């Protein structure tokens, strides 16, 4: 077969597959069918039943506790939860995997609505021309606390799966000692984590201390994320999600407040670093930029919290402020007033 013949054949196979997908989609989604045939569908815009939420969780930020809520709610609230695992937990995807992932998440109708979670860096679905973007959410933590948690986690594990052998099990070196001898386990690569996770799949994102990466991470946080909470204030994060996306999170706050141990996960042993260690870490540009990013996220989160929620005076309940906008001066009054 000539190159062109082979290409035409592949294209043909591709088109046939696409058509089959489209037919299946039209059968299971009547509104999509009417959309394609030209009649205006009634609820095409922001279709919550077809929404995909991506929680690209950062390691050691309390993500396991949070995603436990989603697993507990998924049957009751009728949505899917899927974990994304990557080979060796590498957080960035190759170009071909990016296409596979975006194509798969966008077209996998049986898993909509759904929450995908996994340790992967932000991936901009816009670049791939998909029509409905996923909503991104995330949680970040004070960089120093995250480092301490990570450092001792790989040595001592956690109370969730105490039997699991961790990477550095049996190694008794403290974080103070690690920082003092500048051992790779506490190197700048282990601190430069939250900025690159939010920055994404560009090589510059992964250059520790890059100002460009920090700016990109801030940009994405504001423009591309639906909501970013902080580990220190998970309850408010859960409340904001419940009130803004009840389709998924109805009942989440109650579950969180009355939750059993299954939502908590603690590193078994942690030794807080000395002042000297903290000072040494904070004198690095990498830690400074990570802290700047955390504070930026925290500010934004507090702002949203204040605008959206209030605490009842008696029981300390968190409530939504309710709807504070409306429409008026609506013209024309009737459809037939349109001049055509
Ligand atoms: C992801 O997990 C599944 C189930 O444990 C496993 O079969 C698969 O090989 C994993 N994929 C990668 C890329 O590690
Ligand atoms: C998405 O990937 C899963 C697992 O590999 C597969 O079972 C499913 O058919 C894929 N869906 C689409 C629409 O590609």
At residue 179, the pLDDT reads 93
pLDDT digits (tens, 9 = 90+) for 287-299: 999 999 999 999 9
Number of H helices, E strands in the chain: 13, 7
Output the average pLDDT for the chain: 86
Q: How confident is the model at residue 5 (pLDDT cuts 50, 70, 90)?
A: low
Angle between helices 285-308 and 234-244 (to 10 degrees): 50
CATH assignment of the domain containing 99: 3.40.50.300
At residue 171, the pLDDT reads 72
SS (H, E, C) 64-112: HHHHHHHHHHHHHHCCEEEECCCHHHCCCCCHHHHHHHHHHHHHCHHHC
In a domain, 152, yes or no: yes
In a domain, 328, yes or no: no
In a domain, 38, yes or no: no
In a domain, 305, yes or no: yes
Nearest atom in ligand 1 to the alpha carbon of residue 85 is 1
In a domain, 36, yes or no: no
Q: Whole-model pTM?
A: 0.83
Of the given ranges (53-67, 156-170, 215-229), which has the lowest mean pLDDT? 156-170
> Which ligand sits nearest to residue 20's alpha carbon?
2
Tokens, residue 247: 């389709």
pLDDT score of 170 more than 90:
no
In a domain, 333, yes or no: no
Structural domains of the chain, count: 1
Over residues 75-90, mean pLDDT: 96
In a domain, 61, yes or no: yes
pLDDT digits (tens, 9 = 90+) for 118-147: 999 999 999 999 988 999 999 999 999 999
CB atoms closer than 10 angstroms to residue 66: 24
In a domain, 18, yes or no: no
pLDDT score of 20 more than 80:
no
Percent above pLDDT 70 for the chain: 78
Please, which residues bridge with residue 53 across strands? 115, 135
Q: Which of 69, 29, 4 is nearest to 235 (CA)?
A: 69
Quote the domain boundaries for residue 128: 46-312
Q: Which of 21, 22, 28, 108 to mutate to test the pocket of ligand 2 (most atoms within 8 A of CB)?
A: 108
Q: How far is the CA of 13 from the centre of ligand 2 (A)?
A: 18
């Amino acid at each position: 077969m000539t190159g062109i013949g082979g290409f035409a054949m592949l294209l043909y196979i591709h088109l046939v597959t696409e058509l089959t997908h489209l037919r299946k989609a039209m059968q299971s989604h009547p509104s999509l069918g009417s959309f394609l045939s030209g009649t205006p569908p009634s609820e095409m815009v922001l279709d919550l039943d077809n929404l995909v939420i991506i929680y690209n969780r950062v390691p050691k930020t309390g993500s396991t506790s949070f995603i436990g809520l989603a697993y507990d709610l998924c049957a009751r609230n009728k949505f899917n939860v899927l974990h994304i695992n990557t080979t060796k937990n590498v957080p960035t995807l190759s170009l071909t995997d990016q296409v596979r992932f975006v194509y798969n998440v966008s077209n996998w109708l049986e898993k909509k609505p759904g929450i995908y979670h996994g340790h992967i860096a932000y991936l901009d679905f816009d670049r791939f021309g998909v029509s409905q973007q996923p909503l991104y959410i995330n949680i970040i933590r004070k960089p120093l606390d995250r480092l301490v948690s990570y450092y001792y986690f790989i040595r001592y594990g956690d109370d969730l799966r105490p039997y699991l052998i961790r990477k550095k099990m049996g190694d008794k070196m403290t974080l103070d000692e690690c920082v003092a001898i500048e051992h790779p386990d506490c190197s700048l690569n282990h601190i430069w984590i939250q900025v690159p996770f939010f920055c994404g799949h560009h090589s510059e994102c992964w250059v520790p201390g890059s100002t460009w990466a920090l700016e990109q991470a801030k940009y994405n946080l504001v423009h591309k994320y639906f909501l970013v909470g902080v580990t220190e204030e998970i309850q408010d994060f859960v409340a904001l999600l419940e009130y803004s996306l009840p389709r998924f999170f109805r009942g989440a706050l109650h579950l969180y407040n009355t939750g059993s141990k299954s939502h908590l996960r603690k590193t078994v042993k942690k030794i807080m670093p000395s002042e000297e260690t903290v000072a040494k870490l904070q004198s690095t540009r990498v830690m400074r930029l990570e802290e700047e990013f955390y504070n930026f996220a925290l500010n934004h989160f507090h702002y949203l919290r204040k605008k959206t929620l209030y605490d009842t005076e008696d029981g300390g309940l968190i409530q939504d402020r309710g709807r504070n906008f409306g429409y008026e001066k609506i013209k024309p009054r009737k459809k037939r007033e349109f001049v055509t």
